[in-house]
Structure 1
Amino acid sequence: MNTKDLFTRAIAGTIYIIVILIGLLGGRFWFMPIFAAILGFGLYEFYRMVEKNTTHAISKIFNIFSGVLIFFTAFLFLEKINLFAFPAAILAYLLALYMSAIIVNRYDILHAIIYSVFGQMYITLPLCLLMLLSYHFNLFDEKFHYVPGLAIFVFIWVNDTAAYFIGSLIGKHKFISRISPKKSVEGFIAGIVFTVIAGLIFAHLIPEYPTDFWVIFAFVVSIFGTLGDLFESLIKRTYDLKDAGTLIPGHGGILDRIDSVLIALPASYLFLMAYFELAIR
């Protein structure tokens, strides 16, 4: 990679990080539009990938609009502005898919429905969980707090960076090369170690949460973040693509940047739920 490409990659990566931080640190009214846009781009890239070899019967525009609408109505639900819109949006989406199975006369309509629902489960649902944990899991007297979401993204960034550099320097043993040939066992272990160190730093900076909380949280994000990265690599390999998109120069698309987060979020939600439940007892 030449100097110009490195510079472009660094600038694009910095802008991406700033946008994420604004969405997390700016409060819920910044979180909503920024992550709705991230969701929209992520869904676009996913549905464009699965349409690489054939045009599916259900429009990707419909799926993208539906995903963003579900995300927005989840926000209304959590804000207690409208408690009916969220389940109504999900029901309307599913009914539209069911009706398409009846009305559309194509042999591959079931495949299109499966792709449609999977895209929402893969991208929309985890980002809804990101919003949910920001409302529910914090030890601060606030309705919405950035700490859980910020921790997940920072842990992912530390894990990916450590795995990449340590793997490039000393990585000799391939880690699931069938899916991701560049990943190494050494990089995988380094990612876990440095992410746990980042957890210890969080324990020092935010002592409202105990040290064991941060260490376990960091470990969970590291493990499941790596799985998320591998899963998106599997999708791209299936469709013979290097990147999911080109929105972020030098980094690929939005989906390439949030792939680790998408699997780490459900795991983090379960960890937070279990930890806080045990803490209450």
Structure 2
Amino acid sequence: MEPTAGKQEPVTDEADPRWQEPASEAAVVHPRAPTPRMPEKKRWRPSNLILRLITAVILIPPLIWACYAGGMPYVGVVIAIIFVAINEFYDFISQKGAAPHRLLGTVAAAALPLIVFIGDAFYATSFMTAVLLGVMILQLTKAEIRESIASVSATFFGVFYVGWLLSHAVSVRFIHSDLTRRYGEVQTAGIDPEIGFFFMLLCLTAAVLCDTGAYFVGRRYGRHRLAPAISPNKTVEGALGGIVLGALGAVAAKLVFDYLVPGQLSKDFPLLVAAIFGVVVAAMAILGDLVESLLKRDAHLKDAGAILPGVGGVLDRIDSALLAIPVMYYLLLAYYYVHFMA
């Protein structure tokens, strides 16, 4: 029979895979399973708290020694702290668009402790007036008029905030000389000439323990935020715990000093007064911390610097002291005024 019309014979095409013979099983390449990776060992990194403790252990002993030694070694330490802190301040305030006169501001701020040491608070006040005039005159020499207000304000505020406030550390340390100038040698004859060392010890103990107490009490019992827009992690409970611990620290400093130097403070500076000073200083320490947090938040910064592990910058470490020390000085002036006038 003839093949049916229209019926076509199948045409093979070697290129068509349908007509190719399947490859042998040995020729088939199976994808290799990925080699399992060995789990990486986690590197131990010290926590922020441990770094803070290590930094404190390293820095506190030489600072206490300088405070005890007094004189130019102590003034030199205060100048060095101011030098670093004000440059950190000018660094982060520049991020807000201000152009502070850094050289003038740094020299002026660093000179304040020396002026207080050589003279007194009157000379320091006169010097601050001269600094303000100098900043304005320097700004007049600039060809650029824009941002003049920001430049003058940033420069002078840095000198005031860091230099002027921290120069009170010299005033407190040498409070005996200040009182002698004010009331005469007869009135101050019964006061130990090195009494300023005790007052600095009391102030710093209250401020540091307040910071420590606020941290731990806040973490454990903190429920109500103290200033959520400025520092969300700070709580009312933490602040109260810090103030209580700061007051206890001031009392402890008084007891330790009385033990080491019997009879020097027992009569004129009782425990109750030490506790009151501790409460006020601790409250000012919290306020000083909040002030710096406000400035950093405005500049969108977490830390003012990175020189101190676990802490940040020098300004981050001394922020509480910037208000606590000046208030301590004026409390002492008021206390001794009442004491001598009574």
Change (3 A) 1:88 1:204: closer
What is aligned with 2:103?
Answer: 61
Q: How many angstroms does 1:142 deviate by?
A: 1.6
Q: Contact 2:225 / 2:233 at 8 angstroms: preserved in 1?
A: yes
How far apart in 1 are the matches of 2:209 and 2:220?
16
What is aligned with 1:244?
Answer: 304
Q: Which moved more, 1:166-175 or 1:216-225?
A: 166-175
Q: For residues 147-185 of structure 1, give each alpha carbon's deviation from its aligned partner in whole angstroms, at most 9, with x where no partner exists.
A: 111211111110000110111112121111111111111
How far apart in 2 are the matches of 1:101 and 1:74?
27
Matches within 5 A, 1:143-158: 145-158=196-209
Q: 1:71 aligns with which of 90, 98, 113?
A: 113
What is aligned with 2:168?
Answer: 129
Q: For residues 160-217 of structure 1, give each alpha carbon's deviation from its aligned partner in whole angstroms, at most 9, with x where no partner exists.
A: 0011011111212111111111111111111111112222223322341211220111
1:50 aligns with 2:97: no
Q: How many angstroms does 1:55 deviate by?
A: 5.3
The letter of the residue matching 1:126 is L
Q: Contact 1:13 / 1:248 at 8 angstroms: preserved in 2?
A: no
1:199 aligns with 2:250: yes
Structure with more of its chain in helix, by fraction = 1
What is aligned with 1:11?
Answer: 54
Aligned length: 276
How far apart in 2 are the matches of 1:94 and 1:118?
10
Q: Which moved more, 1:10-19 or 1:246-255?
A: 10-19
What is aligned with 1:276?
Answer: 336
Q: Contact 1:23 / 1:35 at 8 angstroms: preserved in 2?
A: no
Task: State, as a whole percentage, how many aligned pairs show the same letter.
Answer: 27
The letter of the residue matching 2:297 is R
How far apart in 1 are the matches of 2:253 and 2:111?
34
Q: 1:111 aligns with which of 138, 143, 150?
A: 150
How far apart in 1 are the matches of 2:125 and 2:325?
21
- Give the TM-score normalised by structure 2: 0.74
Q: How many angstroms does 1:64 deviate by?
A: 0.7
1:94 aligns with 2:132: yes
Q: Which moved more, 1:115-124 or 1:216-225?
A: 115-124
1:218 aligns with 2:282: no
Q: How many angstroms does 1:234 deviate by?
A: 0.4
Q: Which has the higher contact order (CA 8 A, sep 6+)?
A: 1
The letter of the residue matching 2:134 is A
CA RMSD of aligned residues (A): 2.4
Q: Which runs of 5+ in 2 are unaligned?
A: 1-43, 180-189, 259-264
How far apart in 2 are the matches of 1:55 and 1:273?
37
Q: Which moved more, 1:181-190 or 1:65-74?
A: 65-74
Change (3 A) 1:177 1:9: same
Change (3 A) 1:144 1:190: closer
